[in-house]
């Protein structure tokens, strides 16, 4: 209530009375105060916070006009007015009432609760804007020109005085209304709405093995995901109801099935199918949501490493799929394409820079289909989120705009819009380190914010209904093992864990004399170069550049170590003294350089870069200086022990080639090994040790003998080797990283907001 002195008092409406008016609440009744009852309350229907917003609208109407919006000589007449009549506009009852205020009160008094404000917060925001809105008599009417003088016969100062009075009245009533709205926010909303439950992740799946990349059904009550069955079987697509109950297996193909995404109409699930042997040749399939016959929609060139994570996204109308793929006959970076589910039409949406390391990946549509978010990699192995506006036909409207500047999305996984389309939820983390979940507003009004849960979380997905978030929690680690090789009629020994910690240890390299080991480790919380004794003892950290640092390679004299790092924002080649000290940066081209190796004479350092728009191997003086192209290729390189041959990788499938060190053209290059998973190989004097593509999880160590061309089986690995192989200088043992048993569960967060 507002007193004559302007003091505002919040009172119980059931006790307040107007002079010469019947009591508002009748004795002995529990129906509520009739003048303030909403239509649904008058009809005896269920009530919620929308009812309180109606009552607030009645109070505001009465404050402004001095009379209730619905009148009657008795209760039933008032009820009839509430249900069937519209109140007279406020602008017709009192001069100086802002047009916007009339609209706000009318919206609060909408008879259909869906037409009212959905929360008093929305109403408060509109009320705050009252200071800048025109009054009804200030609004430009037909035939009236802006800036017209006051009514004829009045001096200009009279009109100005009138406007000042109206402005003061508007500010005053706005202040009173905001006070009431603030009280309503506390007095109405809090008691009528249960406190929001804290967001806590709980396991949705906890099966043996690895469950990944959940996608919700349209109603948010089921998920589709990939699972390896808890055995050495490959990944297949499953669906599961949110809650107790076993999953339903949809696919049984011997290849790996991943990236399942549920269509918005609920009818189909799209997924990718591939194998290490096939490399980038991956099929895009559709299958009914409850199982049935599969349909191959297209063949894509998605790298195998993106099979499990979502590289697919449905348009909201379920007629198009966004997929990351390469342009026809192009070895360039990945782009985002649209693929028609009905006709197979293929349209390109994005054009990443030619020097982009991977290109554009992990697309997702906003709920209205007018925005596409994706991860774009720069010239190094870091990515950030970009937004692309789309028209109603899903054609690009302008160029993509960069939304995040975190530059730490090395393991960039699928992102998802929130159900209201205002925020994007995504995962990010430095190379090989634990990732975490983040959210960022689409509007660009705030920086990314780390969620209070989701450590080691990847592949987040928000349901369109039900306020649910699902993500994959991956528990994984890599340690360094040693295997004794068969020498002089001896047999291969057992795999022995040599260097390990609770964080990743990988990429081991023996020093030239075999007495020390250089390796990459995250044990200090950052990716860094470490050294240890030859038996793995006495580990010492050499670098602390942070970010992504790895791939150490000893100089032939054992006095320094070359490695790659993106400490300056892009990958470059560095050299550090083997005993410690400040690392020295060797490359500075905007396209960077990575995966260095030394020539046998120590005069040159090889590395690969796409500085010319193509993947090429370069070499530069070991002390620094201009780089020159060696050959087309990529990946890890090395010279043979006798310094006669230069080995390198070519193609996305990691085939191994060699060419003479002394020179020669491209015609002198010859293929040595067929495509390999991650090009895991090492060259010795009489041959090449390598890990061929596996059947399931049956990885083996094999040896190609130069003298005969025969391939010999050396050892069957217990688990998948990771990264590189390095044979000891005496040829008696080999070092390798090994991925420990991998566990992954789908986590569920209810009441996500």
Is the pLDDT assigned to residue 144 strictly greater than 60? no
Q: How many other C-beta atoms are found inside a 10 Å radius of the C-beta of residue 513?
A: 12
744: in domain: no
Is the pLDDT assigned to residue 46 strictly greater than 90? no
Is the pLDDT assigned to residue 122 strictly greater than 70? yes
470: domain CATH number?
2.120.10.30
20: in domain: no
Same domain, 186 and 226: no
28: in domain: no
Q: What is the layout of strands, in order, in the sheet containing 360-365?
A: 360-365, 371-377, 383-389, 401-402
Which of helix, strand or coil describes residue 483? strand
77: domain CATH number?
1.10.510.10
**pLDDT of res. 569:** 75
Q: What is the mean pLDDT of residues 568-585?
A: 91
Is the pLDDT assigned to residue 143 strictly greater than 70? no
Q: What is the mean pLDDT of residues 584-609?
A: 91
**pLDDT of res. 277:** 64
Q: What is the dihedral of CA 387, 390, 396, 400, to 10 degrees?
A: -10
Q: Say if CB 652 and CB 663 are below 8 A apart.
A: no
| Percent of the chain with pLDDT strictly greater than 70 | 79
Domain boundary among 454, 475, 496: 475
CA distance 169 to 615: 71
Q: Say if CB 583 and CB 575 are below 8 A apart.
A: yes
Q: What confidence category does residue 471 fall into, taking pLDDT thresholds of 50, 70 and 90?
A: very high
128-137, 142-151, 189-198: range with lowest mean pLDDT:
142-151
**Which residue in 692, 691, 677, 695 sits closest to 736, CA to CA?**
691
Is the pLDDT assigned to residue 633 strictly greater than 90? no
* Domains of the chain: total: 3
Same domain, 501 and 392: no
Q: How many other C-beta atoms are found inside a 10 Å radius of the C-beta of residue 44?
A: 8
Q: What is the mean pLDDT of residues 50-64?
A: 87
**pLDDT of res. 409:** 53
38-42, 271-275, 497-501: range with lowest mean pLDDT:
38-42
**pLDDT of res. 723:** 74
**pLDDT of res. 188:** 41
CB neighbour class for 73 (10 Å; exposed up to 12, middle 13-18, buried from 19): exposed
Q: Which helix (H) or strand (E) holds 605?
A: strand 604-609
**pLDDT of res. 432:** 46
CA distance 39 to 43: 6
473-528 pLDDT per residue, tens: 877 788 999 999 987 555 567 899 999 887 789 999 999 999 999 999 988 878 89
Q: What confidence category does residue 120 fall into, taking pLDDT thresholds of 50, 70 and 90?
A: confident
Same domain, 283 and 418: yes
Same domain, 315 and 454: yes
Is the pLDDT assigned to residue 141 strictly greater than 60? no
608-630 pLDDT per residue, tens: 888 777 778 999 999 989 999 99
Q: Say if CB 649 and CB 657 are below 8 A apart.
A: yes
486: in domain: yes
Which of helix, strand or coil describes residue 123? helix
Same domain, 482 and 470: no
Is the pLDDT assigned to residue 556 strictly greater than 60? yes
Q: Say if CB 173 and CB 166 are below 8 A apart.
A: no
Same domain, 372 and 239: yes
Q: What confidence category does residue 92 fall into, taking pLDDT thresholds of 50, 70 and 90?
A: confident
Could you list the residue range(s) of the whole structural domain that residue 257 is in? 201-475
**pLDDT of res. 180:** 53
2: in domain: no
Same domain, 359 and 321: yes
C-alpha angle with apex 475: 471 to 478, nearest 5 degrees? 140
Is the pLDDT assigned to residue 412 strictly greater than 90? no
468: in domain: yes
Domain boundary among 452, 475, 498: 475
Is the pLDDT assigned to residue 165 strictly greater than 50? no
Same domain, 169 and 250: no
**pLDDT of res. 546:** 67
**pLDDT of res. 206:** 83
Is the pLDDT assigned to residue 72 strictly greater than 80? no
328-339 pLDDT per residue, tens: 767 678 899 999
**pLDDT of res. 592:** 80
Phi, psi (degrees; rounded to nearest 5) at 191: -70, -30
Q: Which helix (H) or strand (E) holds 41?
A: helix 39-42
- Cα 494 to chain centroid distance, Å, stands at 41
DSSP states of 175-231: HHHHHHHHHHIIIIIHHHSPPPPP--EEES---SSBEEEEEE-TTSSEEEEEE-TTS
**Which residue in 134, 90, 93 sits closest to 108, CA to CA?**
90
**pLDDT of res. 125:** 77
Q: How many other C-beta atoms are found inside a 10 Å radius of the C-beta of residue 581?
A: 11
Q: Say if CB 729 and CB 487 are below 8 A apart.
A: no
pLDDT, averaged across the chain: 81
Q: What is the mean pLDDT of residues 130-151?
A: 43
Same domain, 413 and 492: no
165-169, 291-295, 507-511: range with lowest mean pLDDT:
165-169
DSSP states of 15-78: T---TTS--SS-TT--S--GGG--HHHHTT----HHHHHHHHHHHHHHHHHSS-SS--SSHHHH
> Is 51 or 10 the better-scoring residue by pLDDT?
51
**pLDDT of res. 530:** 96
Same domain, 451 and 554: no
561: in domain: yes
CA distance 719 to 703: 19
195-209 pLDDT per residue, tens: 666 788 988 988 888
Q: What is the mean pLDDT of residues 364-371?
A: 94
Is the pLDDT assigned to residue 183 strictly greater than 60? no
CA distance 193 to 385: 36
> Is 598 or 454 the better-scoring residue by pLDDT?
598
Q: Which helix (H) or strand (E) holds 423?
A: strand 423-428
Same domain, 268 and 232: yes
> Is 634 or 716 the better-scoring residue by pLDDT?
716
Q: Say if CB 171 and CB 718 are below 8 A apart.
A: no
CA distance 136 to 101: 10
Is the pLDDT assigned to residue 22 strictly greater than 50? no
**pLDDT of res. 522:** 84
Same domain, 391 and 527: no
67: in domain: yes
**Which residue in 238, 218, 219 sits closest to 228, CA to CA?**
238
Task: List beta partners, residue 705.
Answer: 687
**pLDDT of res. 196:** 61
Q: What confidence category does residue 321 fall into, taking pLDDT thresholds of 50, 70 and 90?
A: very high
Task: List beta partners, residue 449.
Answer: 439
> Is 377 or 374 the better-scoring residue by pLDDT?
374
**pLDDT of res. 279:** 60
Question: Between the CA of residue 495 and those of 645, 663, 688, 717, 725, what are the distances in Å?
Answer: 31, 40, 20, 8, 13
């Amino acid at each position: 209530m507002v007193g004559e002195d302007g003091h505002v008092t919040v009172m119980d409406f059931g006790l307040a009375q107007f002079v010469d008016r019947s009591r508002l609440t009748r004795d002995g009744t529990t129906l509520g105060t009739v003048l303030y009852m909403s239509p649904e309350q008058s009809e005896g229907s269920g009530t919620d916070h929308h009812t309180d917003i109606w009552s607030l609208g009645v109070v505001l109407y009465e404050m402004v006009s001095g009379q209730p919006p619905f009148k009657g000589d008795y209760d039933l007449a008032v009820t009839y007015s509430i249900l069937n009549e519209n109140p007279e506009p406020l602008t017709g009852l009192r001069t100086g009432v802002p047009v916007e205020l009339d609209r706000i009160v009318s919206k609060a008094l909408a008879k259909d609760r869906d037409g009212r404000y959905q929360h008093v917060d929305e109403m408060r925001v509109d009320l705050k804007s009252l200071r800048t809105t025109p009054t009804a008599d200030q609004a430009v009417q037909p035939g009236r020109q802006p800036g017209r003088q006051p009514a004829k016969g009045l001096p200009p100062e009279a009109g100005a005085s009138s406007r000042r009075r109206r402005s003061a009245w508007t500010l005053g009533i706005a202040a009173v209304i905001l006070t009431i709205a603030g009280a309503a926010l506390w007095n109405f909303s809090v008691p009528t709405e249960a406190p929001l439950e804290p967001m806590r992740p709980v396991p949705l799946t906890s099966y043996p093995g690895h469950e990944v990349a959940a996608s919700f059904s349209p109603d948010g009550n089921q998920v589709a995901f990939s699972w390896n069955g808890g055995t050495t079987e490959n990944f297949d697509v499953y669906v599961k109801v949110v809650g107790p109950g076993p999953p339903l297996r949809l696919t049984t193909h011997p290849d790996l099935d991943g990236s399942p995404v549920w269509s918005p109409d609920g009818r189909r699930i799209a997924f990718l199918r591939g194998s290490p042997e096939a490399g980038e040749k991956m099929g895009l399939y559709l299958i009914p949501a409850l199982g049935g016959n599969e349909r191959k929609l297209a063949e894509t060139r998605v790298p195998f490493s993106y099979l499990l994570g979502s590289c697919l996204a449905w348009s909201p109308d379920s007629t198009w799929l966004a997929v990351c793929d390469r342009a026809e006959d192009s070895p360039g970076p990945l782009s985002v394409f649209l693929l028609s589910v009905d006709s197979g039409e293929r349209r390109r949406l994005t054009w990443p820079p030619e020097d982009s390391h991977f290109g554009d990946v992990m697309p997702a549509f906003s709920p209205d289909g007018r925005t596409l978010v994706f991860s774009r990699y720069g010239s190094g192995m870091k990515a950030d989120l970009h937004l692309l506006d789309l028209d109603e036909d899903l054609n690009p409207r302008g160029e993509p705009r960069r939304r995040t500047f975190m530059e730490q999305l090395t393991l960039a996984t699928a992102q998802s819009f929130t159900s209201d389309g205002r925020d994007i939820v995504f995962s990010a983390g430095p190379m090989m380190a634990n990732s975490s979940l983040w959210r960022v507003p689409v509007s660009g009004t705030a920086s990314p914010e780390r969620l209070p849960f989701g450590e080691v979380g990847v592949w987040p997905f928000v349901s369109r209904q039900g306020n649910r978030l699902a993500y994959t929690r991956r528990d994984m680690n890599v340690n360094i093992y040693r295997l004794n090789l068969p020498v002089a009629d001896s047999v291969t020994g057992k795999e022995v864990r040599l260097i390990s910690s609770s964080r990743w240890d990988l990429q081991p390299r023996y020093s030239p004399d075999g007495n020390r080991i250089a390796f990459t480790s995250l044990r200090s919380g950052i990716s860094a170069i470490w050294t240890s004794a030859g038996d793995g003892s006495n580990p010492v950290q050499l670098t602390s550049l942070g970010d992504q640092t790895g791939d150490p390679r000893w100089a032939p004299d054992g006095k320094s170590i070359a490695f790659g790092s993106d400490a300056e924002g892009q990958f470059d080649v560095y050299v550090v003294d083997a005993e410690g000290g400040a690392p020295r940066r060797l490359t500075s081209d905007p396209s960077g350089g990575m995966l260095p190796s030394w020539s046998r004479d120590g005069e040159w350092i090889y590395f690969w870069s796409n500085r010319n728009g193509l993947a090429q191997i370069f070499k530069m003086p070991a002390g620094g200086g201009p780089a020159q192209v060696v050959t087309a290729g990529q990946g890890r390189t090395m010279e043979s022990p006798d310094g006669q041959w230069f080995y390198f990788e070519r193609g996305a499938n990691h085939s191994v080639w060699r060419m003479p060190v002394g020179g020669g053209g491209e015609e002198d290059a010859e293929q040595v090994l067929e495509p390999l998973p991650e090009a895991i190989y090492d060259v010795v004097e009489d041959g090449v040790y390598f890990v061929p593509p596996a059947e399931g999880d049956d990885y083996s160590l094999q040896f190609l003998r130069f003298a005969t061309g025969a391939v010999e089986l050396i050892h069957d690995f217990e688990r998948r080797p990771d990264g590189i192989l390095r044979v000891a200088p005496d040829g008696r043992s080999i070092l390798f990283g090994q991925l420990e048993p991998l566990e992954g569960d789908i986590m569920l967060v209810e009441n996500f907001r």
